[in-house]
Amino acid sequence: MSKIEDKIVIQVQKAITELFGQEIDSSSIALQNTRKDIEGDFTLVVFSFVKLTKKSPEETAQLIGEYLKKHMKEIDSFQVLKGFLNFTLHHQYWMTFLQKASEENNYGTTLPDESEPVVVEYSSPNTNKPLHLGHIRNNLLGYSLAQILEASGKKTYKVNLVNDRGIHICKSMLAWMKWGNGETPESSKKKGDKLVGDYYVLFETALRKEAQALKETHNYDDENARNNAPLMQEARELLRKWEARDPDVFKIWKTMNGWVYRGFDSTYQRLGVSFDKIYYESDTYLMGKKIVLDGLEKSAFFKKEDGSVWADLTNEGLDEKLLLRADGTSVYITQDIGTAQLRFDDYNPGKMIYVVGNEQNYHFEVLKKALKKLEKPYTDHLHHLSYGMVELPQGKMKSREGTVVDADDLMDEMYKTARKTTEELGKIEGFSEEEKENLFHIIGMGALKYFILKVDPKKNMLFNPEESIDFNGNTGPFIQYTHARIRSIIRKAEEKGIADKNFDPLKVVINIKEKNLIRSLYNFPQIVQDAAADMSPALIANYVYELAKEFNQFYHDYSVLNEPDENISLFRLKLSGLTSKVIKTAMDMLGIEVPERM
């Protein structure tokens, strides 16, 4: 809680003791912001006290209210509504808050400490295809969560695990080896990740034809037809050669992955996300295999007759889980076991957060149970931030069939939409061509990021590019425009030479819209802490929208610079300045730029 709430809680405890002779724990005191349609700043729920007070809720609330008003100079008045006690703070309290908060360089955030850092893994792409819309949600959630955790006072490390080996990678390699004729990103004039992705789709197209033929000739079901198709057999053989470090296979693998990494780097830079460290499955699976074999020796796992290694999780409510195939090759869970150990060794984190879609819920259940069998001390440090899928108006995306929305293509579309909308609204008068290009990029990316991040991570979402770019409503451009509007006010104040002048708080009586705005600003530090605890950038996104809305409602009714009373004008300028600062800080946590003018 913030300072005044803490003080109220302490005084409520004292009131219960002095008035009713009872002790009460602070955790049982329900204090909340007063609803906007009711007079007051904070509301105390008193229903839970009546057993102690032996009085009605109304009488209990009245007595506590009188006690608090007598013992707290910050409280101006109170009112009782049934079992609710509503406090109104003195205007002077809000004036003091505004002055102090305006002087803080990083209002709302806490400097990180060095104890028990948090590791956030996000992105985790496969090197057989380019990044798509689903990856965009993953990257934006992971990056934003790391920013929020850092702002809440946690030392945070952003990491990426690149899935650069396995059967899916071999599919792209095999297709290129068979049908590529030496094609390269340079010869095809394609981004490397897109070129490799094309070969993955080509493999799957050819595989479907082979599988269909087997179904017709051998009466196989879909799964057996795919597994017995000659192409799939060749891909598995390629994986065995890769794990045996066959020099020719390894050379092709390094070359094609190099193409993909250059493509990924370009997309990451454009998306505005970064990492403190990148892990590669081709490294971590070896650690995983070693840990699994050690677990086998210690009877944590068991081996079947064909030589495959399994974890028996039936006593934990799951089933048996394959850890190593009969041919000795590893599976996803193997490398995740290895990666968990490497991260523990690298950072000794208090929490390791995996930002991964909800289709992998079972996988992470298995990972935790397997690590528990191995008696790893960091088992309980693992947390899966399970987020919902992104769908388009036309339905789900499928990588195998090439029906995904490419991340680069989507960013291109967002730029074009931002350009079209901004030009139509005439918001670029006096801009140079370079300034226009930069603004279109900022607005397009802001629209994309905000539209995705404002949704609770746990929920599936429908992405609509046109809707996201609207300058009205709960959108990124609306918030960006509000920030630019405030910055314009402050620039004019600087021209007048009054931007740094202070107001006299004793001569200001705030109106309801000013007070609502101040209260919203006051709530910001707690919102940051709540968003970090809930691991939900949506809390920040929706808070900053409400803040921008509050400012526009205030600004619609009251002038800042044309107010005839200079003291009130300076107060409103200070209020506008803090609003601008909080909007920028909050949007930074979402990875969104806010322009100085538009």
**pLDDT (tens digit per residue) in 126-161:** 999 999 988 999 999 999 999 999 999 999 999 999
CA distance 44 to 88: 12
Intrachain domains 122-391 and 407-589 with the same fold: no
Mean pLDDT, rounded, for 63-81: 96
CA distance 317 to 369: 10
CA distance 299 to 296: 5
pLDDT number for residue 330 = 84
pLDDT number for residue 401 = 47
Half-sphere exposure of 564 (CA within 13 A, CB side): 0
**pLDDT (tens digit per residue) in 6-43:** 999 999 999 999 999 999 999 999 999 999 889 999 99
Question: pTM here?
Answer: 0.92
Confirm if 154 and 161 have CB atoms less than 8 A apart: no
Mean per-residue pLDDT of the chain: 93
* 400 pLDDT more than 50: no
Residues 6+ apart with CB under 8 A from 106: 585
**pLDDT (tens digit per residue) in 87-119:** 999 999 999 999 999 999 899 999 988 789 999
Parallel, antiparallel or unpaired: strands 84-89 and 113-121: unpaired
Mean pLDDT, rounded, for 510-521: 95
CATH of 3-89, one of 3.90.220.20, 2.170.260.10, 3.40.50.2300, 3.30.1360.70: 3.30.1360.70
**Superfamily covering domain 407-589:** Isoleucyl-tRNA Synthetase; Domain 1 (1.10.730.10)
Mean pLDDT, rounded, for 392-396: 61
- Report residue 213 as tokens: 């033929």
* 566 pLDDT more than 60: yes
Percent composition of the chain: helix, strand, coil (DSSP 3-state, to 5): 60, 15, 25
pLDDT > 70: percent of the chain: 98
Mean pLDDT, rounded, for 572-580: 98
* 404 pLDDT more than 80: no
Q: Where are the domains of the chain?
A: 3-89, 122-391, 407-589
* 340 pLDDT more than 60: yes
pLDDT number for residue 101 = 96
**pLDDT (tens digit per residue) in 363-393:** 999 999 999 999 999 999 999 999 998 877 7
**pLDDT (tens digit per residue) in 198-228:** 999 999 999 999 999 999 898 889 899 999 9
Confirm if 407 and 263 have CB atoms less than 8 A apart: no
CATH of 122-391, one of 3.60.20.10, 3.40.50.620, 3.40.50.300, 3.30.930.10: 3.40.50.620
pLDDT number for residue 69 = 96
* 1 pLDDT more than 80: no
Residues across the chain: 598
pLDDT number for residue 36 = 85
